């Protein structure tokens, strides 16, 4: 009896697989319906097994269909993205004031054109310098970018404003008149500030903070001392007296109206200790201050010379600016500047040294 039941179950499973077949080579529909009816008539115990089999098969098919639909949806979005026309970034410059031509003046690369505005774009929200997007035909402005995608460009020096949102910048030996972006008008520019600008659009875009000039300074206070210098005792004492006169003897300096010495010229052939004395002076001044620190700048003027008109002088001014700002930031830390090979500044072009006779 058990053997017959197992055999019957095997036959029933085979028939159910024939009923569930689909695609090419599957049993015709009428035959499958007849097999299913025969299985249901074979006994009371067979009917629940048939129902369970069909429900499980339907559930698996539904899961497979859901997975396939998800994959198709991802493929559809991918294809739509690949087939979609590109958008082009541009810079908004101004609006047209002509009755015959109305729209926005934009520039994309070196190409400047007038384009129409999309219905969703509010012209009042656009200002010169804003980055916008054009359609693939580049004939319609469809959106304003929330942020600048290419915050790059040239840096020039601010000279002055001339009204109507224009300013004068100096780049090398050229003076450029440019329009300033709305945000730049509130930056509080002063002469000498750095400004990032775009030469092709003629727009000043951003104030560039001046460099702190940390590259000019030594990493720490020089360790040299006057005890390491030999044969220059008289010169060292003169140097100390000049530096400390207004610090420790203000009454005497005021009585005789002695001006404060801001610099000392040390002259001598290479190797006689000028640099050593300058570094030792910086170390000595550090010991006089409350912080025990000093800042030392070793300047080689020959490295600052430039072929551009005014560029050499600008570099000199930059070093003095860095020194002044460093002294103002830390009043208790003295700043010493040593200009090595100072004759590189005072040389006369075209005049050479006479040969010994």
Write the pLDDT tens digit of every residue in 222-274: 999 999 998 899 999 998 888 888 777 878 888 888 888 878 888 888 888 89
Q: What is the mean pLDDT of residues 131-151?
A: 89
- Is 50 exceeded by the pLDDT of residue 2? no
Q: What is the mean pLDDT of residues 126-132?
A: 90
CATH class for domain 214-346? Answer: alpha beta
Instruction: Quote the pLDDT of residue 91.
Output: 93
Topology agreement, domain 88-144 and domain 214-346: no
Look at 38 and 259; give whichever has higher pLDDT: 259
Instruction: Quote the pLDDT of residue 115.
Output: 92
- Is 50 exceeded by the pLDDT of residue 354? no
- Please report, for the chain, the start and end positions of each structural domain, with discontinuous segments joined by +: 2-83, 88-144, 157-208, 214-346
Instruction: Quote the pLDDT of residue 347.
Output: 56
Instruction: Quote the pLDDT of residue 8.
Output: 60
Q: Write down the CATH number for the domain with range 157-208.
A: 2.40.50
Look at 9 and 78; give whichever has higher pLDDT: 78
The model's confidence at residue 18, banded by pLDDT at 50, 70 and 90, is confident
Instruction: Quote the pLDDT of residue 355.
Output: 39
Q: What is the mean pLDDT of residues 11-29?
A: 72
Look at 179 and 2; give whichever has higher pLDDT: 179
Q: What is the mean pLDDT of residues 160-177?
A: 87
Q: Write down the CATH number for the domain with range 88-144.
A: 2.40.50.140
Write the burial class of residue 99 (CB in 10 Å: 0-12 exposed, 13-18 middle, 19+ buried): exposed
For the segment 295-345, what is each residue's pLDDT rounded down to a tens digit? 999 888 878 888 877 778 888 888 888 888 888 888 888 899 998 877 767
Instruction: Quote the pLDDT of residue 32.
Output: 74
Give the range with max mean pLDDT: 180-189, 274-283, 342-351.
274-283
**What are the distances in angstroms from CA 172 to CA 65, 157, 176, 305?**
69, 9, 10, 13
Find tokens 């899961």 and name the residue.
63
């Amino acid at each position: 009896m058990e053997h017959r039941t197992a055999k019957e179950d095997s036959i029933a499973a085979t028939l159910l697989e024939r009923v569930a077949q689909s695609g090419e080579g599957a049993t015709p529909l009428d035959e499958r319906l007849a097999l299913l009816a025969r299985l249901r008539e074979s006994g009371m115990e067979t009917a629940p097994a048939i129902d369970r089999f069909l429900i499980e098969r339907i559930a698996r098919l539904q899961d497979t269909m859901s997975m396939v639909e998800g994959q198709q949806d991802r493929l559809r979005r991918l294809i739509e993205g690949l087939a979609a026309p590109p958008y082009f970034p541009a810079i908004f410059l101004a609006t047209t004031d002509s009755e015959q031509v109305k729209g926005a003046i934009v520039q994309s690369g070196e190409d400047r054109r007038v384009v129409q505005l999309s219905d969703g774009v509010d012209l009042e929200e656009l200002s010169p310098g804003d980055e916008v997007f054009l359609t693939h035909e580049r004939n319609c402005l469809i959106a304003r970018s929330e942020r600048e995608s290419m915050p790059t460009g040239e840096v020039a020096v601010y000279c002055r404003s001339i009204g109507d949102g224009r300013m004068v910048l100096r780049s090398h030996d050229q003076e450029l008149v440019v329009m300033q972006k709305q945000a730049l008008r509130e930056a509080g520019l002063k002469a000498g500030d750095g400004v990032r600008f775009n030469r092709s659009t003629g727009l000043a875009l951003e104030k560039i903070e001046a460099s702190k000039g940390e590259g000019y300074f030594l990493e720490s206070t020089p360790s040299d001392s006057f005890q390491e210098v030999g044969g220059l005792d008289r010169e060292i004492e003169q140097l100390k007296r000049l530096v400390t006169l207004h610090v420790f003897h203000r009454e005497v300096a005021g009585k005789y109206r002695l001006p404060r010495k801001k610099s000392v010229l040390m002259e001598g052939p290479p190797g006689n200790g000028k640099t050593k004395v300058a570094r030792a002076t910086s170390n000595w001044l550090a010991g006089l201050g409350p912080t025990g620190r000093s800042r030392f700048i070793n300047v080689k003027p020959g490295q600052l010379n430039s072929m551009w008109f005014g560029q050499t002088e600008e570099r000199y001014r930059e070093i003095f600016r860095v020194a002044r700002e460093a002294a103002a930031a830390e009043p208790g830390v003295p700043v010493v500047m040593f200009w090595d090979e100072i004759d590189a500044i005072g040389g006369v072009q075209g005049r050479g040294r006479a040969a010994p006779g």
